[in-house]
């Protein structure tokens, strides 16, 4: 989702600089634990969820988002990049195990939810 602010766009150099700063923060175990705790707090997650739902409820934002996603997915370069990243993830045995475990957990959750609905 792109914001409709009139501020300046972030240059690739600035993006790289910010990326390096974030990677350094997450590489520090103490800082990473602090960030992880803050991100996973229920109040924080509720606040983010509320904001995203409010944005998605705006028909203009919703239409723009859908249009941008469709445009990106129509680009063969973007699709190739996503396919390549997916292939690399599936090729790593440890990540493959995590993906399969998450899929099984989701399937179990769906079955329990569906059984409760009956």
**Per-residue pLDDT tens for 43-79?**
999 999 999 999 999 999 999 999 999 999 999 999 9
Q: Say whether pTM exceeds 0.75.
A: no
Residue 102: domain span: 85-118
Q: Where are the alpha helices (DSSP H) in 41-75?
A: 42-57, 59-74
Q: Are residues 49 and 92 part of one domain?
A: no
Q: Are residues 69 and 19 part of one domain?
A: yes
What band does 116 get if pLDDT is binned at 50, 70 and 90?
confident
Q: How far apart are CA 47 and CA 50, in angstroms?
A: 5
Q: Is residue 30 part of a domain?
A: yes
Q: Are residues 68 and 25 part of one domain?
A: yes
pLDDT of residue 1: 45
> Using an 8 Å Cβ cutoff, are 44 and 38 in contact?
yes
Q: Are residues 116 and 67 part of one domain?
A: no
Nearby residues of 4 by Cβ (< 8 Å), 6 or more positions away: 61, 64
What band does 110 get if pLDDT is binned at 50, 70 and 90?
confident
Q: How far apart are CA 55 and CA 66, in angstroms?
A: 13
pLDDT of residue 91: 97
């Amino acid at each position: 989702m792109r914001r409709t602010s009139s501020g300046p766009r972030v240059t690739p150099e600035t993006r790289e600089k910010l990326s390096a700063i974030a990677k350094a923060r997450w590489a520090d175990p103490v800082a990473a634990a602090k960030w992880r705790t803050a991100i996973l707090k229920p109040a924080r997650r509720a606040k983010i969820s509320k904001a995203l739902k409010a944005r998605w409820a705006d028909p203009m934002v919703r239409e723009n988002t859908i249009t941008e996603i469709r445009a990106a997915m129509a680009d063969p370069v973007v699709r190739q990049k996503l396919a390549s990243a997916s292939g690399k993830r599936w090729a790593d045995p440890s990540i493959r195990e995590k993906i399969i475990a998450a899929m099984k957990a989701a399937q179990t959750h769906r079955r329990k939810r569906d059984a409760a609905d009956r």
